[in-house]
Amino acid sequence: MSAAIRSIGIYVPERQVPNQYFETIPDTSDERTSSRTGTLCTTAKPTTMIKRKFLTGLMLLFVTTSVINGACQPASAGKADKKANAPVIRPGFQKYFKECQVNGAIVIYDNAKARWIVSDTVATKKATQPASTFKVINLLIALETQTIPDENYIVKWPGWTDTAKYGYRPDIYHDISVKEAFEVSAGWAFVELAKKIGRDRYKKYLTACGYGNGNLSEKDADFWNFGPFAISPQNQVAFLKKVYDGNLPFSKRNLDILKKVMVTDTHPGYTIRSKTGWTRDKGINTGWWVGYITTKDNVYFFATRLLQDRKNNRADFGSCRKEITLAVLRDLAIIP
């Protein structure tokens, strides 16, 4: 036990006080400090030594009191904090995925309560291709890099698209505004924008936004549909919260444009801003619905992802993305 601690009448086991607290801070006098032992070798005058001892004693008293206060905190305090921040797991949500005969996961974030609500803690962290949900950040990047001036910019129809990859959709094969391309999910239009944006600028903004796994090794322009680039439902929600908070490297103007384009449902008590996504890669259907709901006094962020073997292809796979999400939101009394 330290003599200094003993002298002030407080006992603290030596192991509770880290050694570094007993190291002396060097000053401009002719004292020599041993950093290893914390002892003083001095040639100072007696008065100086008394002052030094007095100051050292005060320092030890401060450190000791801090250590005691920390040691006297209830052992359950740290556990309580972790418990408060732990996600609420609702395995019962899986019944909705089973009804659609798909594997899936859903993440909800309650902004007012700073609370995560998840269907599980594994699938919600598994990353897959974002598919057309990538249009959310894609629009922001196109605006910020001045690839387009605004959402009304017209993208010229290139004359063809790979229908084997994207399916046959003749209703979108024409010149189209960026806003309409976002709303009807005209993938070819954003592929044309991606060619102008370039991979280096994508890497810059995706890294700055913490969006996805950063793997842009896919050679085709639409790396968000095919290849190793991927994002998890949890990451989707975290990004959407940044969009809402404005905590991203994009101007307020561009964020406001995105928020306007994202509006998909307006009701008396709430508004939904969202984007769907669907890609077919390596025999797997990957479907998404991501977005956020603003109510009178709160905001709820969500990301729902469905995975299905294409051998078990169901006609309602696309509609299940929203149906499952809305069912969960009703269960949580977020929407009526």
**CATH number of the domain bearing residue 180:** 3.40.710.10
Has residue 174 been placed in a domain?
yes
Q: Which residues of the chain have pLDDT under 50?
A: 1-51, 54-55, 58-75, 77
Pick the last residue of a domain from 51, 71, 91.
Answer: 71
Q: Tell me, yes or no, whether 62 and 105 share the same domain.
A: no
Q: Which two tokens stand for residue 137?
A: 């950040």
Q: Tell me, yes or no, whether 21 and 149 share the same domain.
A: no
Q: Tell me, yes or no, whether 149 and 250 share the same domain.
A: yes
* 54, 71, 336 from 276: Cα distances, Å: 69, 51, 22
Has residue 78 been placed in a domain?
no
d(CA 146, CA 195): 14
Q: Tell me, yes or no, whether 12 and 100 share the same domain.
A: no
pLDDT score of 164: 87
pLDDT (tens digit per residue) in 288-309: 999 999 999 999 999 999 999 9
Has residue 40 been placed in a domain?
yes
Q: Tell me, yes or no, whether 54 and 170 share the same domain.
A: no
What backbone phi and psi angles, to 5 degrees, belong to 53?
-65, -40
pLDDT score of 6: 39
Q: Which two tokens stand for residue 332?
A: 């949580």
Q: Tell me, yes or no, whether 97 and 184 share the same domain.
A: yes
pLDDT score of 16: 37
Question: What SS3 class is residue 73?
Answer: coil
- Which residue range(s) make up the domain with 208? 83-331
**Closest among 22, 98, 142 to 306, alpha carbons compared:** 98
The DSSP result for 30-72, as a single string, is S-EE-TTT--EE----HHHHHHHHHHHHHHHHHHHHHHHHHHT
From the list 2, 66, 132, 232, the catalytic residue is 132
Has residue 336 been placed in a domain?
no
Q: Tell me, yes or no, whether 50 and 125 share the same domain.
A: no
pLDDT score of 52: 52
Bridge partners (DSSP) listed for residue 307: 103, 286
Q: Tell me, yes or no, whether 169 and 47 share the same domain.
A: no
User: pTM, whole model, 2 decimals?
Assistant: 0.77
Q: Tell me, yes or no, whether 42 and 88 share the same domain.
A: no
Number of domains composing the chain: 2
Q: Which two tokens stand for residue 205?
A: 């903004």
Has residue 283 been placed in a domain?
yes
Pairing relationship of beta strands 103-110 and 88-89 according to DSSP bridges: unpaired
d(CA 142, CA 213): 20
Is residue 103 a contact partner of residue 300, using CB atoms and an 8 Å limit? no
Residue 132 falls in the annotated catalytic set: yes
Has residue 258 been placed in a domain?
yes
pLDDT (tens digit per residue) in 95-117: 999 999 999 999 999 999 999 99
Q: Tell me, yes or no, whether 244 and 215 share the same domain.
A: yes
Q: Which two tokens stand for residue 178?
A: 């960026």
Has residue 183 been placed in a domain?
yes
Has residue 94 been placed in a domain?
yes
pLDDT score of 313: 81
Q: Tell me, yes or no, whether 203 and 286 share the same domain.
A: yes
Q: Tell me, yes or no, whether 318 and 256 share the same domain.
A: yes
Pick the last residue of a domain from 71, 102, 130.
Answer: 71
